[in-house]
Structure formats: C-alpha cells, structure tokens
C-alpha cells in the first residue's frame, strides 16, 4: 500500500515528482530527459500541449526561449575549432561596421559577446518584434547601437542582442546563416532531428506546443527582466507564428527535451557523442569555464556566473539544484525551460509550456534537478 505521494524509489520517484508538477498546475505539459554518459536513462512526457491541447509526447516540439543561446554559441565554438576565430578577436576584425554607432565598440571581443560583457544588453531592437525576422534590420540595429557599459566592464545579460551578435559573426565567418550552420554542424551530426533555430517553412506551426503564461505568486524581482514583459505577454508574443518562424538565435529555438539533453551529454563527454565529434575537448573546456562572476547582473539584478555561451552553477540564482557542483554548466529559458550538464556525466533537460515567474520557475527546475541527481548522481 502506498504510504505517501513520494514513496517510490529510483526513476519512479522522479516520475512522481514530474507528475506532481503537472497535477499542481505549474504547467500544462512537460518533457524531462536525462543522459548518464551516453545512455538515455530517463525520457518522460506528460500533460497536454496547451490549455486545450493534445497529449504531450517525447517528440512534441516546444519553443525554447533562451535555451537557444548555447546552440548559437556552439556554432562560434565550432568555428574556433576550424581556426576561423578566437575569443580574444575584436568583433570588428570580422564585422568592420560593427562599431559604426559607437567607436568604443571596437574594443568588444568575441569572448565579451559570448559572456554577456559586450556592453550591449539592450539596443532598442528588443521593442520591435515585428522586425525580428528581418536579419538585415537586426544587423543594422547592432551596428547603430551605443554601449551601455565599457566592453568587459561587467556582466549584463544580453537577452536578444546576444543572438544577433553571435549569429552575424557566424554568418560572416562561415558565409552561412546561423540556422543553417547549426543544422549542418550541430543538430544533424548529433541526431537532434526535432531541433531548429526558428520554425522551418516545411513544419506546421501546429507542431509547436502552445505557451501559457501564469500569474506569479511570489517574486524576488520584477517579472520579465531582460525582455520587459510579464509571463502572459511573453507567452502571447512567442506564440505568434511570425515570431516562431523568425531566426532569433537568442530565443526562437524549437525542439525537445530529448534533443537538448543529448546536446549537453555531448559536451559533458568532451564534445563527442555516439562516435561523432562536434567540438574538441580543449574548446569544450574553454567554452564551459567561468569568465566572470557578479553579485548583481546589470540586466537581471541577480548573481550570475557566465562562461562562453553558458551560465555556470554556483550562485543562489541558478536553476541547477542545490546539489549541483560549481562545474555544472547550462542555460535556462524564460520562465519555462532549463538544460544543463555536469562533468561527472549527467545531462538533463526539463522543458515545459508553462511560463512562470522566474522565482517559481527556478524552484521547480531546481527541485527536479535535485531529484535527478539523487537518483542518478
């Protein structure tokens, strides 16, 4: 006879917690995938694709918000392995017009961009979502922008500008748009068959789970910091087909938890997975090593530890659980999603369609991370 709501052991205990989050109404649908080394040890899906949606399956695509950022960053790391760029390179060496709006931008390096130290947390383009699909307009906005901080001075989360800066660097270095580059050099080699940056023309918008914004019950800071919008407005904006189809390398990744966990499993294994090498071990080590730690991110107002394209554990505001070692690296997506990897071999992705206040999101993500580490750690 059952003795309580969490009486199971092993993976079944994680399933109980996964179902409890659904039963509590934290989101309508979710996926949870965990790799231990190269083995997929957990692959859960439950709930529905929206408030009136169909059953969520492991193949259900979701809007990934800022969990897209590591996918974009790894494209630059891949180009570094090809000898086409280095982290200390000034951006203007590869993008000469970048400093047009502010000659101080000549000091911004590729490493500054990847670690949110470029000094361009906002550019004005964030407030023009109808233009996000216009790559030329995005590039012009980045070139015209003026710095909020001196390059390298501090960390200030670049909610959208990160993606356009990284994406244009990838395009200029490779001659290939970043969505295509990511597909050819990251997603396809790793078998991430359900992941793209932007929803491709050949895939129906109905294939993406509907985002639902929930009212916050508690808050440590203003909701929506970085995008200047609440959960309901964010859900409405990113439910628009025109936004989902736009290539916004900071926030319009489309994919599944299974694919995301596989991505982190590759990095945990030094850049190789299932016989396919995506990055060199040296580049993975550099990409996931902390570059700056701040007590007050100038955009988010909370502690942050940034690597090159990833966030690192070790602050009270990360979403990797109370048991996470400081070597954990990953990224969260606005109020709904998190993915991470540990050098000891674990990789996890928790993907939901419920956009909650960051405090609530952090609580559910960390609780799930602790459950995973308790069982598989």
Return the structure tokens found at 24. 């509590």
- Residue by residue, DSSP assigns 97-140 as GGGTT-GGGGG-BHHHHHTT-SS-S--SGGG-GGGTT-HHHHHH
Farthest CA pair distance, the chain? 71
Q: How far apart are CA 283 and CA 272, in angstroms?
A: 12
Return the structure tokens found at 336. 């709904």
Predicted TM-score of the model (pTM): 0.95
Q: How far apart are CA 285 and CA 243, in angstroms?
A: 34
Strand-pair partners of 272: 277
Name the residues annotated as catalytic: 66
The pLDDT profile of the chain, 377 residues, written as one tens digit per residue, is 334 556 778 899 999 999 999 999 999 999 999 999 999 999 999 999 988 889 999 999 999 999 999 999 999 999 999 999 999 999 999 999 999 999 999 999 999 999 999 999 999 999 999 999 999 999 999 999 999 999 999 999 999 999 999 999 999 999 999 999 999 999 999 999 999 999 999 999 999 999 999 876 643 344 444 444 578 899 999 999 999 999 999 999 999 999 999 999 999 999 999 999 999 999 999 999 999 999 999 999 999 999 999 999 998 788 999 999 999 999 999 999 999 999 889 999 999 999 998 888 999 999 999 999 999 98
Nearest alpha-carbon partner for 371 in 73, 20, 75, 48: 20
Assign residue 29 a region (left: φ > 0; alpha: ψ between -120 and 50; beta: otherwise).
beta
Beta strands in 184-251 (DSSP E): 196-197, 212-213
Which of helix, strand or coil describes residue 335? coil
The ranges assigned to domains in the chain are 11-67+192-376, 77-174
Rounding to the nearest 10 degrees, give the CA dihedral for residues 53, 54, 59, 62. 0
Domain 11-67+192-376 in CATH: superfamily? DD-peptidase/beta-lactamase superfamily (3.40.710.10)
Q: Which residues contact 351 (CB under 8 A, 6 or more apart)?
A: 30, 31, 32, 62, 64, 256, 257, 260, 336, 337
Assign residue 335 a region (left: φ > 0; alpha: ψ between -120 and 50; beta: otherwise).
left
Is the CB of residue 261 less than 8 Å from the CB of residue 349? yes
Which of helix, strand or coil describes residue 361? helix
């Amino acid at each position: 006879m059952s003795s309580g709501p969490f009486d199971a052991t092993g993976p079944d205990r994680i399933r109980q917690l996964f179902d409890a989050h659904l039963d509590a109404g934290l989101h309508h649908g979710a996926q949870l995938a965990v790799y231990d080394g190269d083995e997929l040890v957990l692959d859960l899906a439950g709930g529905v694709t929206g408030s009136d949606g169909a059953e969520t399956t492991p193949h259900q695509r979701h809007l990934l918000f800022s969990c897209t950022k590591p996918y974009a960053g790894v494209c630059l790391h891949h180009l570094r392995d090809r000898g086409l760029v280095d982290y200390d390179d000034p951006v203007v060496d590869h993008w000469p017009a970048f400093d047009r709006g502010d000659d101080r931008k000549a000091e911004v390096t590729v490493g500054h961009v990847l670690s949110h130290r470029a000094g361009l947390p906002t550019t004005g383009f964030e407030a023009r979502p109808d233009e996000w699909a216009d790559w030329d307009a995005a590039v012009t906005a980045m070139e015209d922008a003026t710095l909020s901080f001196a390059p390298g001075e501090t960390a200030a989360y670049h909610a959208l500008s990160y993606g356009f800066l990284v994406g244009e660097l990838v395009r200029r270095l490779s001659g290939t748009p970043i969505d295509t580059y990511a597909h050819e050099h990251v997603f396809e080699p790793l078998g991430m068959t359900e992941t793209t940056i932007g929803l491709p023309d050949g895939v129906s918008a109905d294939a993406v789970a509907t985002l639902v914004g929930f009212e916050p019950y508690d808050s440590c800071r203003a909701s929506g910091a970085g995008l200047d919008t609440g959960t309901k407005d964010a859900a409405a904006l990113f439910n628009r087909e025109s936004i989902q189809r736009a290539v916004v390398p900071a926030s319009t990744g489309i994919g599944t938890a299974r694919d995301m966990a596989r991505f982190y499993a590759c990095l945990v294994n030094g850049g190789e997975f299932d016989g396919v090498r995506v990055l060199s071990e040296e580049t993975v080590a550099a990409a996931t090593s902390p570059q700056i730690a701040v007590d007050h991110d100038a955009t988010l107002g909370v502690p942050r530890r940034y690597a090159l394209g990833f966030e690192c554990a070790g602050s009270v505001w990360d979403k990797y659980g109370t048991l996470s070692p400081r070597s954990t690296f990953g990224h969260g997506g606005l109020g709904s999603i998190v993915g991470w990897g540990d050098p000891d071999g674990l990789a996890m992705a928790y993907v939901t369609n419920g956009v909650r206040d960051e405090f609530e999101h952090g609580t559910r993500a960390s609780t799930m991370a602790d459950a995973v580490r308790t069982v598989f750690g």
